[in-house]
Structure 1
Amino acid sequence: MPKWKRYLTLFIAAAVVISLAACGNGNKEQQAPSTGGEAASNGDVKLRIMWWGSQERHEATLAVLDMYTKANPHVTFDPEYSGMDGYLDKLSTQAAANNAPDVIQLDPGWISDWSARNQLADLSSGINLSNVDQKVLSGGQYNGTQYAIPLGSVAYGMIYDKAALEKVGVPAPSNGWSWDDFFAMAKEMKGKLPEGQYFTKDYAGDYFAYSAYQYAQGKGQVVTNEGVFNVDQDTFLAWTKQFEELRKEGIVPPADLNASDKEFDPTMDLLVSGKIVIRLSFSNNLGAWNSLKEGAYALVTMPRAVEAGGWLKPSMFFGISATSKHAEEAKKFVDWFINSPDAAGVLKTARGMPVNSEIATTLEAQLSDTDKAGLELLRATEKDGQTFSAGAKGWTNFIDKDWPLVRDELSFGKTTPEEAYEKLKQAAAEYE
């Protein structure tokens, strides 16, 4: 059976419970009560809402849910939240069983698939979008219809351990550095780092890390908007062979340690636990890492080559389930979430800089030093950063399933860079 059919069968079969991995730093997963989304007999409404993120995001979001209920006593919430690991699997299973939450946090890369499957409500009306940039709004559209509302904007860059670099006498990277600088720094680390510490993760088969590298080489998207496989073979081989060399020299973690990494987990995040010195990060995530080890980290732009490697993107979206019994109440909540200065004052940059331009301007003066550092990365990337593209309909499994398989095979030495490229190319052909 072709791979895409196997995934479709799994999706439609639903009722299979796929566990949503908690991010482990005290993050909590709320199970949806059977009454979620049902109207109480007295006319009150309970909205189920689901999101992923760090503990910082969880606490801020719970606070604004309470704020909304105080202003609208007839509306209460059943929140479901955890880390990113497994989030899409669980959400897809719920949706296939017609049991999706009323309000759903969505990654930009999922919008086309979810809209095409008629799983999202039309949000073309009922939400004030007058202060939202059209370029950001377009990421939540499918065939000209608005199905998801952006919540903020972020930039993709890197985060590093300041003390670890200072200890080994290696200068910290600066905005505008190149991929040549990155790999030179990696090799400079050899013999300087203490036993059990490595330069960075093994990113040989990481979709987003490679995307940044291909962008920087001027080769464009990994998957085009038209759904065409566009992994440049020479660029992919150059990237994977660089990491193959770092792997052999012990500059990146061994495969089992690399696979154990869980972002924002105080014991399993390789950066927080001191196992690596630098890793990928979005501009709005510094606060999450800072909450685990205050003042330890700094942000820097994604390395570049002939073009910028980093990109700007809507941080995430809120969508409303097409099966929600309370779509209008859910719209009112989403409208308030993006347009309320009071909500923004609590959320700050937990989901990137607020998407409402007026609120974002007002908020800048109120930002903490940590949030200002995130804003600095955002502004540095805005100058010539790549424009984020969610790719084409039908590619979610290619990105979320096929790439991780190749990633693990490369890390464990079970495939060569040449074989990995052919596997990705073959997998892509099953989606085109």
Structure 2
Amino acid sequence: MTIPTVSRRRFQLGAAALAITLLATGCGAAGSSGGSDQVTLRFAWWGNEYLNAQTEKVIDAFEASHPNIKIESEPGEWGGYWDKLATKTAANDAPDVIQMDQKYIAEYGGRGALLDLSKQEEIDTSKLDKEALASGQYDGAQYGLSTGQNAYVIMANTKVFEAANVPVPDDTKWTWDEFLDIASKISASGDGKTYGAAYGSNEADLIIWLRQHGQNLYSQDGKLDFDTATAASFFERLKEQRDSKASPPATVATEDSGAGLEESLFGTNRVGMAWWWTNQLGSLESTTGSPIKMLRAPSQDGASAKNGMYYKPTMFWSASSRSKHPKEAAAFIDYLTNNPEAGAILMTDRGVPTNTEIVEGITPTLKPADTTVVSFLKDIAPDIKDAPPVPPVGAGSVQNVIKRYTDEVLYDRLTPQAAADAFKKEVEGMLASAKK
């Protein structure tokens, strides 16, 4: 596997959950069992009950075809997953195979806690999408293989559109002005009970906005890569959504942000448009009982090729650099990534597979929503140029910072420009602290 090399730096873990000296006992792989010796691999992931059952099924299938390898399950939930993983890693007790998120690839890989998968002969990457492969690379090493691709889109609840007598837009050529106009009309018809659009105020929202302006949240060498004026225009747009009543009042939005999907404004058919990842389409349709249409991001001038969208790995398969069985761990990751049997079990719940042969094999048996997602991701491919740089060490909690400054703007405690200035200064401090 050939991997492009980027700047090498020394790191410390920046996220609060990872502020632990991981390398106190060293990081080299401890060797591998040989021949047909029976080995046990610990496998950690986060998910819900459905995903857990699916994962146990793929484990059973792997063990049936690899009788000398036993997989010990360590499922968890997102809320406590990272604290637990940080603690175990610091104690030199990390699972052999780890479900990893992109925001922590650098946090763990940059400190030597993850195995460089490019050096594992058991893993075949020849049939994987090259952009998806690059998304798991950091500092010249392959620290994760994407479980599948996703895209951040506007989900339009067609039932809400119909009730407001507002047509669903042509997403191949719509602008932000049209987005605001459509959302305002839906809100006006809802008499304070239904809103046109939820606020998009997380990391992916900001990344798309910056890319539309020729900038990025991060640079390839791990620094911030945007002007505060552009970030201010992002906050200004959200404020305009509030002022035009296209989106809920700040107090309603705050309450909604803490609600589960079933109780949320979107989940209860009270918002026409909201930002979600493509792999969530099935859950949204099931919860709302409404047909949901995925829409491309609006752009500044209506050109979909300039809308800033990108493919994001839903998550990654990674392995601990301290695993006593790196060859077997690599074999399990290769199975999860490339084996048709595994593909038929995992389907698209962790994203659309990056192995095109797996996608072709599962397509005939996909659920309607999943078929729609596969088709949508294929349709937007001509407009997807590259992926944003991997978040650097120290960036694990940036999404929370964006949300906090969005609240400051929506509650009129800061102007958009002041919020942008403070946001950039705070994140620069977080990244700098992570390097000490």
Q: TM-score range by the shorter chain?
A: 0.7 to 0.9
- State the match for 1:408 in structure 2: 407
Asked whether the 8 Å contact 2:315–2:350 carries over to 1, the reply is: yes
Shift of 1:294: 4.5
When residues 266 and 141 of structure 1 are mapped into structure 2, their CA distance, relative to the original with a 3 A threshold, is closer
Question: 2:309 aligned with 1:302, yes or no?
Answer: no
**127, 130, 137: which one pairs with 1:134?**
130
Alpha-carbon distance in 2 for matches of 1:386, 1:257: 37
Question: 2:320 aligned with 1:326, yes or no?
Answer: no
Alpha-carbon distance in 2 for matches of 1:13, 1:138: 27
Alpha-carbon distance in 1 for matches of 2:428, 2:386: 25
Alpha-carbon distance in 2 for matches of 1:55, 1:287: 16
Shift of 1:117: 0.6
- State the match for 2:271 in structure 1: 276
* 1:352-380: CA deviation from partner (whole Å, max 9, x where unpaired): 22122212223233332211211222122
When residues 65 and 289 of structure 1 are mapped into structure 2, their CA distance, relative to the original with a 3 A threshold, is farther
Asked whether the 8 Å contact 2:269–2:288 carries over to 1, the reply is: no
Alpha-carbon distance in 1 for matches of 2:16, 2:354: 37
- State the match for 1:189 in structure 2: 186
Amino acid in the other structure paired with 1:112:
A
Asked whether the 8 Å contact 1:284–1:371 carries over to 2, the reply is: yes
When residues 170 and 91 of structure 1 are mapped into structure 2, their CA distance, relative to the original with a 3 A threshold, is farther
- State the match for 2:27 in structure 1: none
- State the match for 2:25 in structure 1: none
Alpha-carbon distance in 2 for matches of 1:282, 1:6: 27
- Runs of 5+ consecutive residues of structure 2 not aligned to the other structure: 1-10, 23-32
- Runs of 5+ consecutive residues of structure 1 not aligned to the other structure: 16-38
Alpha-carbon distance in 2 for matches of 1:295, 1:45: 48
Asked whether the 8 Å contact 2:117–2:143 carries over to 1, the reply is: yes
- State the match for 1:92 in structure 2: 86
1:122-161 correspondence to structure 2 within 5 Å? 122-124=116-118, 125=120, 126-161=122-157
Asked whether the 8 Å contact 1:48–1:77 carries over to 2, the reply is: yes
- State the match for 1:245 in structure 2: 240
Shift of 1:334: 0.9
**11, 23, 33: which one pairs with 2:18?**
11
Shift of 1:336: 0.8
- State the match for 1:115 in structure 2: 109
**35, 44, 57: which one pairs with 1:63?**
57
Shift of 1:403: 2.4
Shift of 1:311: 1.1
Alpha-carbon distance in 2 for matches of 1:298, 1:264: 23
Shift of 1:158: 1.6
Question: 2:360 aligned with 1:365, yes or no?
Answer: no
**286, 292, 317: which one pairs with 1:291?**
286
Amino acid in the other structure paired with 2:181:
A
Amino acid in the other structure paired with 1:347:
L
Q: Could you tell which deviates more after superposition, 123-132 or 241-250?
A: 241-250
Sequence identity of aligned pairs in percent?
Answer: 26
* 1:74-95: CA deviation from partner (whole Å, max 9, x where unpaired): 5133232324x56444433443
When residues 9 and 389 of structure 1 are mapped into structure 2, their CA distance, relative to the original with a 3 A threshold, is closer
| TM-score w.r.t. length of structure 1 | 0.82
Shift of 1:163: 0.5
Alpha-carbon distance in 1 for matches of 2:65, 2:19: 39
Alpha-carbon distance in 2 for matches of 1:338, 1:380: 23
Asked whether the 8 Å contact 1:14–1:97 carries over to 2, the reply is: no
- State the match for 1:179 in structure 2: 176
Q: SS of the counterpart of 1:414?
A: coil
Q: Could you tell which deviates more after superposition, 99-108 or 340-349?
A: 99-108
Q: Could you tell which deviates more after superposition, 294-303 or 418-427?
A: 294-303
When residues 144 and 175 of structure 1 are mapped into structure 2, their CA distance, relative to the original with a 3 A threshold, is same
Asked whether the 8 Å contact 1:159–1:278 carries over to 2, the reply is: yes
- State the match for 2:99 in structure 1: 105
When residues 235 and 265 of structure 1 are mapped into structure 2, their CA distance, relative to the original with a 3 A threshold, is same
Shift of 1:194: 4.4
Amino acid in the other structure paired with 2:115:
A
Asked whether the 8 Å contact 1:56–1:350 carries over to 2, the reply is: no
- State the match for 1:31 in structure 2: none
Alpha-carbon distance in 1 for matches of 2:196, 2:21: 41
Q: SS of the counterpart of 1:281?
A: strand
**Backbone CA RMSD of aligned residues:** 3.0
Q: SS of the counterpart of 2:126?
A: coil
Amino acid in the other structure paired with 2:274:
R
Q: SS of the counterpart of 1:185?
A: helix
When residues 385 and 264 of structure 1 are mapped into structure 2, their CA distance, relative to the original with a 3 A threshold, is farther
Shift of 1:168: 0.7
Q: SS of the counterpart of 2:404?
A: helix
Alpha-carbon distance in 2 for matches of 1:82, 1:257: 27
Alpha-carbon distance in 1 for matches of 2:162, 2:43: 43
Asked whether the 8 Å contact 1:304–1:310 carries over to 2, the reply is: no
Alpha-carbon distance in 1 for matches of 2:411, 2:60: 46
Alpha-carbon distance in 1 for matches of 2:228, 2:413: 19
- State the match for 1:418 in structure 2: 417
Q: SS of the counterpart of 1:354?
A: coil
Alpha-carbon distance in 2 for matches of 1:253, 1:46: 52
When residues 367 and 249 of structure 1 are mapped into structure 2, their CA distance, relative to the original with a 3 A threshold, is same
Asked whether the 8 Å contact 1:260–1:268 carries over to 2, the reply is: no
1:313-352 correspondence to structure 2 within 5 Å? 313-352=312-351
When residues 6 and 75 of structure 1 are mapped into structure 2, their CA distance, relative to the original with a 3 A threshold, is closer
Alpha-carbon distance in 1 for matches of 2:299, 2:417: 24
